[in-house]
């Protein structure tokens, strides 16, 4: 399945408490459970005013549907075309 990076503008995101982040995560997991196995949340990164979330899904529509059902903002969805890390630079 394709991997997607979702950018969510959320002013003050970096100031959310652990309890608030847990609430957001619980809501996301509840929605995912009802949507079935064709969409998976991998991880999210919280910055001062944004969330960057990584999902694996059949298509972009599923990612947007998850956001709609959960009441989450979606400002940009980008399909990941490749991944790299420091080992990418190594000669094989």
pTM over 0.85: yes
69 contacts: CB under 8 Å, gap ≥ 6 = 31, 34, 35
Q: Which residues pair with 78 in a beta bridge?
A: 5
Q: What is the pLDDT of residues 2-61, one digit of tens each?
A: 999 999 999 999 999 999 999 999 999 999 999 999 999 999 999 999 999 999 999 999
Q: What is the pLDDT of residue 91?
A: 80
Strands of the chain, DSSP E: 3-9, 39-46, 50-57, 76-79
Give yes or no for residue 92 having a pLDDT over 80: no
Q: Give me the domains of the chain, ranges plus CATH numbers.
A: 3-83 (3.30.70.3090)
Q: What is the pLDDT of residues 62-87, one digit of tens each?
A: 999 999 999 999 999 999 999 999 99
Q: Which residue has the tokens 């998976």?
A: 40
């Amino acid at each position: 399945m394709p991997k997607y990076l979702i950018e969510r503008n959320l002013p003050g995101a970096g100031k959310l408490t652990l309890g608030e982040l847990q609430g957001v995560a619980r809501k996301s997991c509840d929605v995912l459970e009802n949507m079935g196995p064709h969409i998976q949340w991998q991880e999210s990164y919280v910055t001062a005013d944004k969330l960057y979330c990584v999902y694996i899904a059949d298509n972009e529509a599923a990612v947007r549907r998850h956001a709609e059902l959960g009441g989450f903002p979606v400002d940009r969805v980008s399909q990941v075309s490749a991944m790299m890390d420091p080992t990418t630079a190594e000669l094989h």
